């Protein structure tokens, strides 16, 4: 493998941490310089940042029981005490592995592992509460549904549908401006039926588009470009097609 290929792979491995703002500044500056000349890494970073943007809303906020919080925090505090006693180098990963991790999210090295372990344990506990409380309630689940770009003329575009129950939001990245005198229009399609207007049009390149029409199980979200003001039925082939929700 050439030095150029190794350099590219090294930066590609760091994109996830960079999207999470978890890369040390010296490595982040090096990666930014690489991004200036690498279209592939810029496209991959745009895709990762789109996922990061919806992570906070991708699960339902559920309050963990007080007993669970107390148990988790006891473990965290005990582990933190051990790490402090071991010294500042005890929890510092090797540089080659640090790029893949979440270093930087917790500013004090001595409590990084303990905080991460506690966050994972607390998240697991909260996840169990969500499953127990909502496993039979389709109106309250939260998830992300992938969408494909159906137009080969949009190689850098990315899209996905964020759902909470029947309320949906389309998230787009890298979309070009719609053709002149046209807008992007969102549609809802049931299997075997024609698409119906979802009540949303947009022209933004990156961001979120709330979908007023409720989205039900088995339906897909489509996007076409239509005359300004929208159309009662699609006049062009879809350029974005989601998987059935």
Length of the chain counted residue by residue = 245
Query: 122, 131 in Cβ contact below 8 A?
Result: no
The whole-number average pLDDT for the span 194-207 is 94
Calculate the average pLDDT of the chain.
75
Query: 196, 230 in Cβ contact below 8 A?
Result: no
Which residue from 168, 64, 188, 202 is spatially nearest to 122, judged by alpha carbons? 64
Write down the residue that tokens 């150029």 correspond to. Answer: 4
What burial class does residue 12 get, using C-beta atoms within 10 Å of its C-beta: 0-12 exposed, 13-18 middle, 19+ buried? middle
Encode pLDDT of 37-73 as tens digits.
899 899 888 878 777 776 665 555 556 666 666 666 6
| pLDDT attached to residue 125 | 40
Supply the pTM of this predicted model.
0.45
Task: Please indicate whether residue 21 or residue 70 has the higher confidence score (pLDDT).
Answer: 21
Domains of the chain listed by start with CATH number: 3-57 (no CATH), 66-134 (no CATH), 142-242 (2.60.40)
Does residue 75 carry a pLDDT above 80? no
Task: Please indicate whether residue 87 or residue 179 has the higher confidence score (pLDDT).
Answer: 179
């Amino acid at each position: 493998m050439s030095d150029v290929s190794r350099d590219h792979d090294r930066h590609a491995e760091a994109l996830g941490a960079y999207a999470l703002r978890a890369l040390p500044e010296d490595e982040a500056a090096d990666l930014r310089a690489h991004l200036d000349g690498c279209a592939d890494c810029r496209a991959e970073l745009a895709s990762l940042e789109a996922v990061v943007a919806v992570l906070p809303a991708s699960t339902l906020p559920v309050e963990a029981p007080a007993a669970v919080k107390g148990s988790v925090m006891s473990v965290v505090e005990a582990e933190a005490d051990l790490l402090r006693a071991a010294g500042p180098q005890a929890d510092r990963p090797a540089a080659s592995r640090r790029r893949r991790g979440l270093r930087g999210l917790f500013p004090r090295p001595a409590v990084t592992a303990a905080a991460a372990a506690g966050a994972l344990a607390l998240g697991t506990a909260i996840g169990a509460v969500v499953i127990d409380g909502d496993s039979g309630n389709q109106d309250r689940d939260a998830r992300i549904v992938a969408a494909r770009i159906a137009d080969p003329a949009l190689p850098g575009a990315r899209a996905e549908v964020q759902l909470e129950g029947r309320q949906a939001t389309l998230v787009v990245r890298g979309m070009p401006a719609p053709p002149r005198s046209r807008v992007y229009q969102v549609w809802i399609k049931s299997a075997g039926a024609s698409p119906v207007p979802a009540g949303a049009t947009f022209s933004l390149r990156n961001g979120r588009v709330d979908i007023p029409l409720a989205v039900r199980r088995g339906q897909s979200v489509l996007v076409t470009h239509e005359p300004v003001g929208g159309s009662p039925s699609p006049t062009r082939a879809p350029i974005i097609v989601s998987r059935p929700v």
